[in-house]
Amino acid sequence: MKTTVEFEKYDFKQAIIRHLHSTLGTDENKANNHAWWKATCAAINEHVLEGLRKTQKKHYINDTRAVHYFSAEFLMGRLLSNNMQNFGVFDDVRDALKALGVELSDIMEEEPDMALGNGGLGRLAACYIDSLATLNFPAIGYGIHYENGLFRQEIRNGKQIERPDAWRDYGNPWEICRPESIQEISLYGYVETKYGENGRIQKEWHPGSIVKGLPWDIPVVGYEGGSVNVLRLWQSQSSDHFNWDVFNSGGYVDAQRENVQAETISKVLYPNDDTEAGKELRLIQQYFFCACSLKDIIRRYKRAHGDDWSRFTEQVVIQLNDTHPAIAIPELMRILVDRAELDWEKAWDICTHTFAYTNHTLLPEALEKWPARMIQKILPRHLEIIYEINHRFMQEVEAKWPGNNDIKAKLSIIEESSEKMVRMGNLSVIGSFAVNGVAELHSKLVKENLFPEFNELYPGRLMNVTNGITPRRWLKTCNPALSELVSDKIGKDWPLYLDKLQGLAKYAEQKIFQKQFMQIKHKNKVALAKEIQALTGIKLDTNAIFDIQIKRLHEYKRQHLNLLHIMALYRRLLENPDYDMHPRVFIFAAKAAPGYKLAKDIILAINKVAETINSDPRVNKKLKVVFMPNYRVSQAEKLIPAADVSEQISTAGKEASGTGNMKLALNGAVTIGTLDGANVEIAEEVGDENIFIFGLTIDDVSTLWDKGYNPYDIYDKNKEVKAVLDWLETDYFTPGEPGALLSIKHSLLEGGDPYLVLADFESYSSAQKEVDLAYRDKQKWAKMAILNTAKVGKFTSDRSIKDYVDRIWKLEPCITGHD
């Protein structure tokens, strides 16, 4: 196979030493792990940059159509091991370092995670750019170069404390600063209406402030000779010339203040994974990266096509990762109408053939809305454009449903509440040629519940692309032992053709293979147990079931359902020391949005229950609870290979897809889950006998709400539920502090239990009993675990990307190869 980069005669040992000397100014005797890490990155980077140059040259010469993935988040994690694996040089580098007396696994721990995202949506973007590079599709990721990524979580007295994440403090070896591609963008000010010679109305935006966007490129290395694409992240800076006047008139301090304001834009990632109501800075962030990225795209387009806009939509497709970049739609209209002086109709035609939008949530509180007044202040011209888009759209609605004002009010981009709001979801559907949900069930609900009228008005626009994960990071790199076993059985090319994992199914009942598979799982559990002991002091029995729930903390994800069940097990063990259960370790890891009180209380409750149980000699041989602080990509890579059970227990209809569910199943964990998000498709793939499905379905959920749900009915009827909820109210888990965990009980009773935790408790509890029984049958469990790995090939992000390409992007691969 032709590869982008040649390694045959490359001497890593020599290169690493060379970089230790000439890049880092140190030597083998003085170097600490950090220096070794940097020198190793520098050696790898020689190849990264060579691949990047070749890929860019090829794209330039071929002038190919490309996808531009706009996302406020890219949760990249660490890149050294990933880049080495994708180049296929991991073992060579490990051996080279070994010869120098250095352990690769130690120096990899030096790398800070690039945590420029909150959770699923940000990690999805990272998996997608991996697949795009691997499959040689011309693509560029566009986002924000946050100075501080998602906060670091510390746990003190059981409580979450947020600390800043200074991921670049000692430099980031992977990023390339591109001052030659700086862009300037405008904010604030007012709009002047002018009349051109031909009587055409011209709008001129006189900005109140100008900000510079400085791009940093992160090379994205495709697997085994794929392309090296780029992720381009914008850092905000004050614009020199705009401050010049202030500066000259002696306003040094004022000028510095403007600097601070401009530089604030890319300072910090918002740590919310739903919405942050009405925060001006968040809107500015969104506009900032969209405007910079559009200018960048248009600069590149014009280099090839000048002022001829007729081929723009052939060359450019822009994917909006949720509504966060939706402001790009009126921004492109502004450029086309005000700057390029195209007719509105022509401009709108270009726009609606350029954008496609991915929806990631149905939760009404998570659908983005911005006060019109705020847009007016920050982006006055964009508000006018949004009104014009809406005005014309309302005429379409009138033509389709004459006189129907209810539908108009519902579909309007403008919500006419006391404070006028701009609905970014509606704007995105109207301004895009394709809208997709992220799992079959979710896309169905998008069509039938969220946007049914849009689906009627624009048949075919709403569709599904089921999420996926990159098997390079989420199996090959994070679980090398299992990867090797798999390669021995089915050959080495499964990371590119994940459906080949099906080939393992025929060994699912073979004793030797079961033993090999489960031995690897056990080794991974031992490694995790060691990590957990080092981090938390908790000692684990690695023969226990490792039951793992790792994801953002949210009521709808129901970590508290898991916790109530743990308390119930604890209670059963106290009441009956011989209560028959296989030893189990429940492991949680989760960050809560800093302002989400109940989520933080659930973290506190998990930690307090964990402390109590772990130090109770009556039960702690059979039951342990661990809360791993500071959940992040690199931690997920250690947890996932060691999981026996994967907890995917959201209220049906609430989790759009989930992607952790796929990662865990791929690594041979068996899911206990509801029929929600991609769990439905995982169940279809692995078969009902290889997954533990429980709980209300979406239909059950709506029936239950329709007939009236009263959580007190369950509290009064189910003794165990009553007992554990009442237990929370005492000071049993929080000595001297009764009531510290009361908010959870309160939300489940007086609060009306909005996520039906109590309604699903009994069903969850019996499913957990089945898990316990199944695990005790070693062969049965091994078979289930193997079949999970064997049957989840569908969930490779390569398949997702091919779906996007076929259904939406219509790209051709551009093979890089040699010069």
b (16+ CB within 10 A) / e for 452-479? ebbbebbeebbbbbbbbbbbbbbbbbbb
CA–CA separation, 219 and 520 (whole Å):
33
Is the Cβ of residue 5 or residue 121 nearer to ligand 26Q in the bound state? 121
Q: Which of 4, 40, 86, 118 binds ligand 26Q (CB under 6 A)?
A: 118
659 has catalytic annotation: yes
| Window of 129-137, 273-281, 305-313, 447-455 that interacts with ligand 26Q by CB under 6 A | 273-281
The active-site residue out of 521, 557, 654, 745 is 557
CA–CA separation, 764 and 752 (whole Å):
19
One character per residue 322-361, x = contact with ligand 26Q (rule: CB under 6 A): --x-----------------------------------xx
| Window of 60-68, 304-312, 651-659, 724-732 that interacts with ligand 26Q by CB under 6 A | 651-659
Is the Cβ of residue 111 or residue 113 nearer to ligand 26Q in the bound state? 113
Token pair belonging to 673: 């889950």
Is the Cβ of residue 272 or residue 502 nearer to ligand 26Q in the bound state? 272
324 has catalytic annotation: no
Is the Cβ of residue 85 or residue 361 nearer to ligand 26Q in the bound state? 361
Is the Cβ of residue 239 or residue 358 nearer to ligand 26Q in the bound state? 358
The active-site residue out of 334, 551, 554, 558 is 551
CA–CA separation, 379 and 382 (whole Å):
5
Is the Cβ of residue 516 or residue 659 nearer to ligand 26Q in the bound state? 659
Q: Phi first, then psi: what are they for 345, rounded to 5°? A: -60, -45
Provide the minimum distance between the beta carbon of 677 and ligand 26Q in the complex, in angstroms, as a whole number: 5
Which residue number places its CB atom closest to ligand 26Q?
A: 120
* 3-state SS class at 644: coil
400 has catalytic annotation: no
Strand partners, 421: 371, 415
Number of Cβ within a 10 Å radius of residue 140: 22
Is the Cβ of residue 18 or residue 807 nearer to ligand 26Q in the bound state? 807
Q: Rule CB under 6 A: say whether 276 interacts with ligand 26Q.
A: yes
Number of Cβ within a 10 Å radius of residue 424: 25
Provide the minimum distance between the beta carbon of 678 and ligand 26Q in the complex, in angstroms, as a whole number: 7
| Window of 27-35, 101-109, 270-278, 288-296 that interacts with ligand 26Q by CB under 6 A | 270-278
CA–CA separation, 654 and 756 (whole Å):
11
The active-site residue out of 663, 745, 791, 799 is 663
Q: Phi first, then psi: what are they for 177, rounded to 5°? A: -80, 135
Map tokens 């009404």 to a residue: 364
| Window of 168-176, 650-658, 763-771, 789-797 that interacts with ligand 26Q by CB under 6 A | 650-658
Q: Rule CB under 6 A: say whether 398 interacts with ligand 26Q.
A: no
Q: Rule CB under 6 A: say whether 81 interacts with ligand 26Q.
A: no
Map tokens 């199943």 to a residue: 665
Q: Rule CB under 6 A: say whether 282 interacts with ligand 26Q.
A: yes
Residue 636's nearest CA partner among 604, 613, 662 is 662
Residue 203's nearest CA partner among 298, 332, 337, 328 is 337
The active-site residue out of 19, 360, 369, 799 is 360
Q: Rule CB under 6 A: say whether 84 interacts with ligand 26Q.
A: no
Q: Which of 656, 698, 748, 756 binds ligand 26Q (CB under 6 A)?
A: 656
Site for ligand 26Q in 659-688 (CB under 6 A): 659, 677
Q: Tell me the DSSP string of 242-275.
A: HHHHHHHTT-HHHHHHHHHHHHHTTTB----SS-
| Window of 8-16, 144-152, 652-660, 721-729 that interacts with ligand 26Q by CB under 6 A | 652-660
One character per residue 461-480, x = contact with ligand 26Q (rule: CB under 6 A): ------x-------------
Is the Cβ of residue 273 or residue 753 nearer to ligand 26Q in the bound state? 273
360 has catalytic annotation: yes
Number of Cβ within a 10 Å radius of residue 4: 27
The active-site residue out of 47, 78, 123, 552 is 552
Residues with Cβ within 8 Å of 484's Cβ and at least 6 positions away in sequence, in order, are none
Site for ligand 26Q in 223-262 (CB under 6 A): none
The full 3-state SS of 306-323, as one line of letters, equals CCCHHHHHHHEEEEEECC
CA–CA separation, 298 and 312 (whole Å):
9
654 has catalytic annotation: no
Is the Cβ of residue 277 or residue 526 nearer to ligand 26Q in the bound state? 277
CA–CA separation, 749 and 745 (whole Å):
6
Map tokens 């539908």 to a residue: 407
Q: Which of 46, 92, 162, 274 binds ligand 26Q (CB under 6 A)?
A: 274
- Do the beta carbons of residue 277 and residue 283 sit within 8 Å? no
| Window of 94-102, 119-127, 417-425, 759-767 that interacts with ligand 26Q by CB under 6 A | 119-127
| Window of 118-126, 494-502, 735-743, 807-815 that interacts with ligand 26Q by CB under 6 A | 118-126
| Window of 238-246, 520-528, 656-664, 791-799 that interacts with ligand 26Q by CB under 6 A | 656-664
# residues contacting ligand 26Q (CB under 6 A): 24
Provide the minimum distance between the beta carbon of 205 and ligand 26Q in the complex, in angstroms, as a whole number: 25
Q: Alpha helix locations (H) across 306-431?
A: 312-315, 328-334, 344-351, 372-378, 380-400, 405-411, 424-431
- Cα pseudo-dihedral 386, 389, 395, 399, rounded to 10: -120
Q: Rule CB under 6 A: say whether 437 interacts with ligand 26Q.
A: no
Is the Cβ of residue 438 or residue 568 nearer to ligand 26Q in the bound state? 438
Residues with Cβ within 8 Å of 805's Cβ and at least 6 positions away in sequence, in order, are 137, 811
CA–CA separation, 158 and 611 (whole Å):
9
- When computed from its CA atoms, the radius of gyration of the chain, rounded to whole angstroms, is 27
CA–CA separation, 548 and 563 (whole Å):
12
Is the Cβ of residue 361 or residue 612 nearer to ligand 26Q in the bound state? 361
CA–CA separation, 154 and 199 (whole Å):
63
Q: Which of 33, 64, 172, 272 binds ligand 26Q (CB under 6 A)?
A: 272
The active-site residue out of 659, 674, 789, 796 is 659
Provide the minimum distance between the beta carbon of 416 and ligand 26Q in the complex, in angstroms, as a whole number: 22
Q: Which of 153, 186, 235, 275 binds ligand 26Q (CB under 6 A)?
A: 275
Q: Which of 16, 67, 79, 121 binds ligand 26Q (CB under 6 A)?
A: 121
Q: Rule CB under 6 A: say whether 658 interacts with ligand 26Q.
A: yes
Is the Cβ of residue 174 or residue 596 nearer to ligand 26Q in the bound state? 596
331 vs 386, 445, 446, 607, CA distance in Å? 10, 30, 26, 47
Is the Cβ of residue 117 or residue 158 nearer to ligand 26Q in the bound state? 117
Provide the minimum distance between the beta carbon of 122 and ligand 26Q in the complex, in angstroms, as a whole number: 7
CA–CA separation, 139 and 131 (whole Å):
10
Provide the minimum distance between the beta carbon of 653 and ligand 26Q in the complex, in angstroms, as a whole number: 11
| Window of 13-21, 115-123, 602-610, 707-715 that interacts with ligand 26Q by CB under 6 A | 115-123
* 3-state SS class at 453: helix
- Do the beta carbons of residue 781 and residue 773 sit within 8 Å? no
557 has catalytic annotation: yes
Q: Tell me the DSSP string of 738-797.
A: TTTTHHHHHHHTTT--TT-HHHHHHHHHHHHHHHHHHHHSHHHHHHHHHHHHHH-GGGBH
- Binding residues for ligand 26Q, rule: CB under 6 A, are 118-121, 124, 270, 272-276, 282, 324, 360-361, 368, 438, 467, 655-659, 677
Residues that are catalytic: 360, 551-552, 557, 659, 663
